[in-house]
Structure 1
Amino acid sequence: MSQADKAKQFAALHVKGEPITIYNIWDAGTAQAVTKAGAKAVATGSASVAAAHGYEDGEKIPLSLVEIVASRIAESVEVPFSLDFEGAYADSPADVKANAARIIKTGAVGVNFEDQKVNGSGLYSVDEQCARISAFREAADEAGIPFFINARTDMFLNEPDASKHGGLVGEAIERGKRYAEAGASGFFIPALSDADQIAKICEIAPLPVNAYMMKGMPEIAELGKLGVSRVSFGPGPYREAMIDLKRKAESIL
């Protein structure tokens, strides 16, 4: 399939109530392994890619290296591939657009694109992030690729007190609506684990909702009943693999 066809296929996998499960990978080898296990699509977690190459998360791994890794993954599997692109290594919409064009050329058909200020403080305002999403969409349109921009809000991730998450749901829904108008394809809500709150966002937000599997989350089947369209595991698979590798190495060494 062409890159454009893979992008269309990836979007079609996001079905409300029947979520696609993403068991996140970090290189071409893990992409191939997960694909052989039956994955319909593969996607990275930024922390996993960074750690696998000796870097910390938060855009510490050079963008040029991310391009190489993304290209190798895209070339190694036939299924759609989405990259966790953090904040696009950019602040201004112009720089977002330039970096988006670089990632689109790797063969990826989607990205996670977050609204927190990576290596900064707080979140971009709704207007600022909408301008950034629109710039990303412009790059995709110019490339002729119906790119899947999974707009991530870090509202819940940045609030460690889960008891306060209910008070953030209304603003999150507003961000989801505005992000959709700006050209986003999906809405990612990591760290929100309350079933009723997830269901409310799925009911009102106009985009397919991506939930993140973490401690305290409902099971995948339950998330489907809540209206979720995508479930991802983030850096969990990498951490588990490294624990297993260390244990096996210790038993030998």
Structure 2
Amino acid sequence: MTDASTLTVPPGLADRARLFHSLHTGGSVLALPNAWDAGSARIIEDAGATAIATTSSGVAWALGAADGGHVDPALVADVVARITAVVSVPVTVDIEDGYGADPAGVAATVRAVLAAGGVGVNIEDSRRDPADPLRPVAEQAERITAARQAADAAGVPLYVNARCDVMLRRVGDPAGRLDATVERARAYLAAGADGIFVPGTTDPATVRRLADAIDAPLNVLSGPGDPSVPELAAAGAARVSIGGAIPEAVYALTRRAVRELLTDGTCGTVADALAYPELNALFRN
């Protein structure tokens, strides 16, 4: 990973980071698609996205690893560098729990993201312990502060999106989960986070209560059957992402196409593919 003494960030990175910050304010919602490699990122930009997020699951699968802390963070940084090399919009990076055993490790990951051209990170408070799935608040706050300090030292206003997984992991009494989420969110903001990500609910009434209680842009995770982006925005969400949903759909199509080819000998599943000339043209420059 990149050492603090040798960190060099790409030209204009601070300006792209400030642009990314601005996309969370002003009353408009940021619909943030998730990429998993340079090709998917280029298509997302071409489709009109104003910013791109990576999906940790999609990146891990594309690298032949499972999601959940099983991927080499150096390989993640390489993916980010490949993405930022082919797009001009800001790119924020899902770094799971920070890919570090301690705050210093998180700081090293953040420096690698900055060197690769990323302008934001998601840092989750989940940990790999089924019996105790969330980090203590104070411990997570230290990790967020380490991320903030690493970025400040590099002169880049990195957007730190602190993910609170109380609802996603269904921790504690259901009646107390919203208050527990808000408590964690406030601690993370005090530690240096810029926004709060609460996966696990898209219920408009719950989103509204979260948005009213958290003094920062609120990010929610959407999927098939959930309220639309405008509906979530009306409830108070400032940012809506879809995580690993796109690569999941791509892999499902891949499996259907292969099974059709092997069982029926036909290729109807891929009839709606992007044409080679159009797709290839996206990468000529």
Q: Specify if TM > 0.5.
A: yes
Residues 119, 5 of structure 1: CA spacing in aligned structure 2 closer, same or farther, 3 A cutoff? farther
Counterpart check, 1:4 vs 2:26: no
Amino acid at match of 2:44: V
- In structure 1, what is the equivalent of residue 32 of structure 2? 22
Give the CA RMSD over aligned residues: 1.8
Amino acid at match of 1:30: S
- In structure 2, what is the equivalent of residue 185 of structure 1? 194
- Percent of residue pairs identical: 36
1:91 CA displacement? 2.8
> Structure 2 residue aligned with 1:144, among 150, 155, 158?
155
Amino acid at match of 1:245: T
> Structure 1 residue aligned with 2:164, among 138, 153, 159?
153
Amino acid at match of 1:90: G
Taking the aligned partners of 2:175 and 2:247, their CA distance within structure 1 comes to 30
Secondary structure class of the residue paired with 1:218: coil
Taking the aligned partners of 1:68 and 1:243, their CA distance within structure 2 comes to 26
Amino acid at match of 1:195: P
Per-residue CA shift, 1:81-119, capped at 9, x if unaligned?
011100111132122212221221111000110011146
1:187-206 equivalences under 5 Å are 187-206=196-215
1:243 CA displacement? 1.3
Counterpart check, 1:37 vs 2:47: yes
1:220–1:231 Cα contact (<8 Å) kept: yes
Taking the aligned partners of 1:76 and 1:8, their CA distance within structure 2 comes to 20
Larger Rg: 2
1:217-228 equivalences under 5 Å are 217-228=226-237
Secondary structure class of the residue paired with 2:99: coil
Secondary structure class of the residue paired with 2:186: helix
Residues 252, 215 of structure 1: CA spacing in aligned structure 2 closer, same or farther, 3 A cutoff? closer
> Structure 2 residue aligned with 1:134, among 134, 145, 151?
145
Amino acid at match of 2:13: Q
> Structure 2 residue aligned with 1:210, among 215, 219, 222?
219
Runs of 4+ in 1 over 6 A off after TM superposition: none
1:226 CA displacement? 0.7
Counterpart check, 1:93 vs 2:109: no
Structure number with higher relative contact order (C-alpha < 8 Å, ≥ 6 residues apart): 1
Residues 24, 94 of structure 1: CA spacing in aligned structure 2 closer, same or farther, 3 A cutoff? same
Taking the aligned partners of 1:22 and 1:166, their CA distance within structure 2 comes to 30
Q: What residue ranges of structure 1 are gaps of 5+ in the alignment?
A: none
Bigger shift: 11-20 or 110-119? 11-20
